Amino acid sequence: MTLRLKLFTAWCLFLVATSGVASYYGWSLFADSASTSSSSGGARGPTHK
């Protein structure tokens, strides 16, 4: 196993661990929580063509 592969393995483990911690604390960069705005009020419709 090369040093580069070892470093990459450490990077993979770090990301897996980060994912686990984030899930445990229910944290996500992509949550739909709306602290300031609401989805209602605007007109919508298809964007097809």
Partner 1 sequence: MTQPRAVICPSCGGSIEIRAAGYTVTLGCRYCGSVLDVAHEDVRLIKAYRRAVKNFAIAPGARGTLFDVEWEVIGALRRRSAESGDWQEFLLFNPYSGYRWLVLAGAEWQFGTMLLDRPENGPRSVSWRGGDYLRGDSETATTVTVLGEFYWKIARGDEARATAYTRGAEVLSCESTADETNWTQLIPLDDSAVSAAFAVERKFVGAPQRRARRNDTDDLPMMFLFALIALLAVGLVQELVSRPRVCTESTSEIIVGAPSFTTRIGTLEVRRAYQFVTISAVSSNINNRWIDLDYSLVNRQTQQSIDAYGLIEYYTGTDSDGPWTEGSTGAETLIASVPRGTYDIYLDGGAHGWPNDPSVTVKQVKPDEWTVQTSADAENPWAPPEKVTVWFTACTGGFSWGMFWLIGFLLFAVPGAMLWWRHREDD
Residues interacting with partner 1, by CB under 8 A? 1-2, 4-5, 8-9, 11-13, 15-16, 18-20, 22-35, 37-41, 43-49
| Least gap, CB of 5 to partner 1 (angstroms) | 5
- Cβ distance 28 to 22 under 8 Å? yes
| Least gap, CB of 33 to partner 1 (angstroms) | 5
| Least gap, CB of 40 to partner 1 (angstroms) | 4
Distance (Å, whole) CA 16 – CA 18: 5
> Left if phi > 0, otherwise alpha if psi is -120 to 50, otherwise beta: which for 38?
beta
